């Protein structure tokens, strides 16, 4: 019988470096012979969501947490599913094929981890934080280039919706985290050590090949 696949959740404010850290961790684990399935909570935004009057899209309610938890439960049991994908530019949902082999799941997101913490859905919760100035530069680079937002829109949205949303929904996760990461390079080492303690690599491989 296959064991439940462990889930490492990387939470934190917008543009704190969650995706970058998850990508680096995925590559590091691959060199150690472990295959990670990466999931983003951003892919579970509701397609027809009407922005909140105060928080806009920066609220847990904008995430379809029922679907997120359902698909995560299936993936933990290695059941084949088509993964949800949300186009941040067009705000439309599509599907993609999930890989057939993975030893653990790396889930990252700002909104979504709130509905998972304290349940059997997540084994390790990591909180990543970065300075506001650094995050502003990252948001401008990402949203202007990749999402075709204007610089004025990005700055206005950051201060009127994003920061209030973070104070209400994201910052409380810091007190609940198993690990708080302030330096991405050091965090890579710390999370890797957590994963090594969490799973027995040989057992996972044996289970997968059984």
Q: Would you kindly state where each structural domain of the chain is located, as residue ranges?
A: 7-198
Side-chain half-sphere CA neighbours of 104 within 13 A? 28
- Cα end-to-end span (Å), the chain: 8
In this predicted structure, what is the pLDDT of residue 3? 67
In this predicted structure, what is the pLDDT of residue 100? 84
Provide the pairing of β-strand 82-87 with 92-97: antiparallel
Residue 184 backbone phi and psi in degrees, to 5: -65, -40
In this predicted structure, what is the pLDDT of residue 1? 36
In this predicted structure, what is the pLDDT of residue 8? 94
Give the E-state strand segments of the chain in sequence order: 7-11, 36-40, 82-87, 92-97, 104-109, 124-128, 179-181
Q: What's this model's pTM, rounded to 2 decimal places?
A: 0.86
| pLDDT, tens only, 142-161 | 888 888 889 999 999 999 99
Q: Residue 87 forms beta bridges with which residues?
A: 92
The stretches in the chain having pLDDT less than 50 are 1-2, 201-202, 204-210
Domain 7-198 superfamily per CATH: P-loop containing nucleotide triphosphate hydrolases (3.40.50.300)
């Amino acid at each position: 019988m296959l064991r439940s696949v462990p889930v490492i959740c990387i939470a934190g404010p917008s543009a704190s470096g969650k995706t970058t850290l998850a990508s680096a961790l995925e590559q590091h684990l691959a060199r150690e012979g472990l295959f990670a399935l990466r999931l983003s909570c951003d892919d579970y935004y509701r397609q027809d969501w009407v922005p909140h009057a105060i928080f806009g899209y920066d609220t847990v309610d904008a995430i379809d947490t029922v679907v997120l938890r359902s698909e995560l439960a299936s993936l933990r049991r290695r059941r084949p599913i088509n993964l949800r994908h949300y186009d941040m530019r067009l705000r439309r949902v599509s599907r993609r094929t999930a890989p057939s082999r993975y030893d653990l799941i790396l889930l990252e997101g700002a909104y979504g981890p709130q509905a998972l913490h304290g349940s059997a859905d997540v084994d390790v919760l990591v909180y990543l934080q970065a300075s506001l100035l650094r995050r502003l530069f990252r948001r401008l680079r990402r949203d202007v280039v990749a999402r075709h937002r204007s610089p004025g829109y990005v700055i206005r949205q950051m201060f009127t919706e994003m920061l209030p949303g973070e104070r209400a929904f994201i910052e409380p996760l810091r007190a609940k985290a198993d690990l708080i990461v302030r330096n991405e390079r050091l965090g890579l080492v710390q999370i890797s050590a957590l994963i090594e303690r969490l799973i027995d690599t040989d057992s996972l491989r044996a289970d997968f090949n059984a």
